[in-house]
Amino acid sequence: QQLEEEQQLEEEEEKSSKRAKMTLSTAAESTTKDELDPETSDAAPAGEDEDTMSYGVSRLLSLPCKFGRLTIAAGSVVDFCGSAIVNAANTGCVGGGGVDGAISARGGYALQDAREALPIVGKGRTRCEVGDAKTTIAGDLDAEWVIHAVGPNYHHYDDEDEADALLYSAYRAAMLEARDKQMESVGFSLLSAGIFRGSRQLEPVLRIGLTAVAANTYPELKEAFLVAFTQREQATLEQAAAVLCPDPQRGFDWTAALADMKSERLHKTHALSLAELEARHAAPPSPRAVAPSSLSSCSPL
């Protein structure tokens, strides 16, 4: 009984601490992003041309997929106003630094309570394992949902191939969460692309993300965005996209996309994704009732 009481006290202290942080003035995402990765502190200018602005971010490059489109965008994922924002979460799933902190602050108490309500699934108050994703309401954000995806911290892995596989799995898990709720538009934070990247080069980290998203699209999806906050992220995403899809008229080059990745687990997961993608593409379309959107303040082009 004493142990249970101590555990309850610890949980209440955690909640109080989180709520106290929420009352502080919200730091601009540029500040939190600088703390996340000092190497990429120059925010990419998000243009406001009517031909490129959509869902609260600025389109840079859009590629056709089996279902919907894969888009590289500039801006802040916190401003994304589609079906869901994919948050770069940690295993505790109750808030952190960088973009996670910015999403928590904008989402307010409702989002924070929803995150704390996620069930504990592992030791150390783990609510989401590395390589997995969980979905909550979005609170005060302009999206309808937040998908909390946990990418690997490359510092914690002697074998970067293992981390690569977990990164692919985290993006895939987020897409599966989106598919379960038939989400039409998803805006991704760049998972494991800041300090979690360690000594891993940025380009393969982002290429894994692009490949995983493209390979796990589904019939209801209209557009999936990977949102670059800095100029370096923007340029590197475009570089990675050129490897994945050197000729948009011919589609994705799945062989080249992960050719330099050595992880057997990653390649098996990718092969499974492609097999499921082909099966979905071959299946007859199923009827779907479309609910009226509550996002009248932000409509796609």
Could you tell me which residues come within 8 angstroms of residue 289 by beta carbon, excluding any fewer than 6 positions away? none
Catalytic residue numbers, as ranges: 100
Nearest to 203 by CA among 246, 258, 147: 258
- Extract the runs of DSSP E, i.e. beta strands, from 109-215: 133-137, 145-149, 185-188
172 contacts 184 by C-beta, under 8 angstroms: no
Q: In 10 A of CB 155, how many CB atoms?
A: 12
* Domains of the chain, CATH where assigned: 52-282 (3.40.220.10)
Specify the pLDDT at position 110. 97
Structure tokens at 164: 């690569």
Specify the pLDDT at position 285. 75
202-214 vs 264-282: helix crossing angle, rounded to 10: 30
Task: Give pLDDT < 70 ranges for the chain.
Answer: 1-53, 286-301
